[in-house]
Amino acid sequence: MLKEAGWNLHVDFHDHKKHIGKPRVVREFEVMGESSSKYIDYAFIDGKENVIAILEAKRTSKSADSGKAQGLQYANYIEKVYNSRPFIFYSNGYETYLWDDLYYPERKIWGFYSLEKLEFLLFQRKHRMSLNSIQLNPKIIDRGYQMEGVRRVLEDFETKRRKALLVMATGTGKTRVAMSIIDTLLQTHWIKRVLFLADRRELRQQAEDAFKKYIPYANQIQITSFLKSQDKNKPIFTATYNSMMSNYLDFPIDFFDLIIADESHRSIYNYYSELFRYFDALQIGLTATPVGYINRNTFTFFERPANDPTFYYSLEEAVTHNPPYLVKYRCVQHSTKEIMTDLKKEN
């Protein structure tokens, strides 16, 4: 798994000084403890000779959780000696956990982080801005409820939640709210790459048009097949669920910092839930389905209580607003001669 994350150079502690200046993973890394030397199973060293992460490895017969306390202790030793807090991994070979204990509780991941991602996390420690008082771009959203929706999501992220669910009636601006969230997170250094998923090509195209209009400074790429290496430097990626399912293994688990799932409903998580388990990223679900009709599993997936999304703006609220944002629908009953003929034949 380390090689899959780009850590190709593995050396023992007594040899690692021969590779100064090269990113590497060092086995049995020696560090001074409270009264004697301690040996960390694996230490991740960057090109500047900083210990940026550690791994506490347990036997497959033991639970991965049994490495948590030891990992924390070793991180304390590293911080005391190197004056920098490393990220903590612990694993038994079957389950792997990442613990950035300055910001988040530990969480299960599908592999290890690359040097690039660990360096971005270190960059965030110094440059990531607070979301509590950031001013939203009025050129993207200008309605009170839209601003409230964005604020609710940002507040959740600020309080260490990693998932959010937005429920907004069709026509009230779900996509613009998503654009505002992305714009804010990019500007404040919370994210570097975002994946926008849609269930149809037409909706994907609508999202791409919205990105061009509201976030023109961020280049985007459409995922339909394997990407060239230079394409992976772009900040915004769009895809249908089907195309992403065919290509997601071409990306490392830490590639995206934010995933937005448009039209989040039960069928998506029945068929495509692997996407959301594979990538370790902030996740936002968007849906127009009224709260009372949303499957309970959707709330569970986004770590919300039943019938309690992060933000809800209903059709009724949009219709009754003064002035109204939407007009009440009316049902028009219509059929065709062909349909009626077929029904008579079936009966």
For residue 172, pLDDT beyond 70: yes
Report yes or no: 21 and 55 within 8 Å, Cβ to Cβ. no
The answer to whether residues 274 and 154 belong to one domain is yes
pLDDT of residue 225: 67
The answer to whether residues 155 and 295 belong to one domain is yes
In the chain, % of residues over pLDDT 90: 75
Identity of the amino acid at 326: L
Quote the number of domains for the chain.
Answer: 2
Q: How confident is the model at residue 94 (pLDDT cuts 50, 70, 90)?
A: very high
User: What are the strands, taking DSSP E only, across 134-175?
Assistant: 163-168
Q: Please provide the average confidence, as pLDDT, over all residues in the chain.
A: 92
The terminus-to-terminus CA distance of the chain in angstroms comes to 60
Q: Which of 96, 127, 158 is the last residue of a domain?
A: 127
* Residue at token pair 């990626």: 237
For residue 155, pLDDT beyond 80: yes
The answer to whether residues 78 and 118 belong to one domain is yes
Domain membership flag for residue 346: no
The answer to whether residues 104 and 191 belong to one domain is no
CATH of the domain at 200: 3.40.50.300
CATH of the domain at 39: 3.90.1570.30
Domain membership flag for residue 137: no
Reported pTM? 0.91
The answer to whether residues 228 and 179 belong to one domain is yes
Query: Averaged over 145-165, what is the pLDDT?
Result: 97
Report yes or no: 97 and 90 within 8 Å, Cβ to Cβ. yes
Q: How confident is the model at residue 175 (pLDDT cuts 50, 70, 90)?
A: very high
The answer to whether residues 304 and 236 belong to one domain is yes
Report yes or no: 168 and 285 within 8 Å, Cβ to Cβ. no
More confident residue, 128 or 337: 128
For residue 334, pLDDT beyond 70: yes
Q: How is 252-308 classified by DSSP, letter by letter?
A: -TTS-SEEEESS--HHHHHHHHHHHHHS-SEEEEEE-S-GGGS-HHHHHHTT--TT-
Domain membership flag for residue 265: yes
For residue 323, say if its preceding peptide bond is cis, omega within 30 degrees of 0.
yes
Residues near 336 by Cβ (< 8 Å), separated by ≥ 6?
A: none
Model confidence pLDDT, tens digit, residues 310-332: 999 999 999 999 999 999 888 88
The answer to whether residues 168 and 299 belong to one domain is yes
Model confidence pLDDT, tens digit, residues 39-86: 999 999 999 999 999 999 999 999 999 999 999 999 999 999 999 999
User: Domain residues for 217?
Assistant: 144-320
